[in-house]
Amino acid sequence: MTTAVAATGVTIVVDDTRTVSGLLQVPAKAGICYVLAHGAGAGMAHPFMASVASGLADRGVATLRYQFPYMEQGSKRPDTPKVAQATVRAAVMEAGKRLPKAALFAGGKSFGGRMTSQAQASGALRDVEGLAFIGFPLHAPGKPSDERAAHLFDVDIPMLFLQGTRDELAELELLTPVVKRLGERASLKLFADADHSFHVPARTGRKDSEVLAELLDALMEWMK
């Protein structure tokens, strides 16, 4: 039986005027840490985020979840890319300080993953070995485009795209060619019938928890 790993609250200094909250979960002998950013509509304590962190802890992987400033302030309007990217950098630095011997990976759910890749594209995140996206938001719902992928070609470390085949924010007809053009640095793992939240319809005979377990297994193996 796996022993649950408690999350410890941390404070992350973004700049002279901003700090944000974080949650650090470190299982025994963790050799990997995933710096995990939340999506646009829900913060680090959302059940999906908590399940990802706990599931990775069960697999021996540490996580640092954190808030973006707008979420910390209770706002619904996401931060500017500049502020969001500064927050990503601060979270990565905090993870590096707290787990200096762990291999660092970064990314997150939807918006959080995209802000992480934008940060990496504009200047390497310190000691980060790869980026993992849990539902990369390639475009807005009903507005298919691959313009949001342009910066990915400036990312020079490995990337993993974990995507549901029913994701309305990433039509596979657009995402698959992008990943192919990125070449050996990018990998795509698809989850049949899953939407942007990795929910699957009851008719499939599968449960969301099963999909999440497959996702976390794939993420852990890739980071290894």
Q: Cα–Cα distances in Å, from 85 out to 119, 138, 190? A: 5, 18, 27
**Per-position pLDDT tens, the chain of length 224:** 456 899 999 999 999 999 999 999 999 999 999 999 999 999 999 999 999 999 999 999 999 999 999 999 999 999 999 999 999 999 999 999 999 999 999 999 999 999 999 999 999 999 999 999 999 999 999 999 999 999 999 999 999 999 999 999 999 999 999 999 999 999 999 999 999 999 999 999 999 999 999 999 999 999 99
Sequence ranges of the domains in the chain = 8-223
8-223 maps to CATH 3.30.565.10: no
201 φ, ψ (degrees, to nearest 5): -65, 150
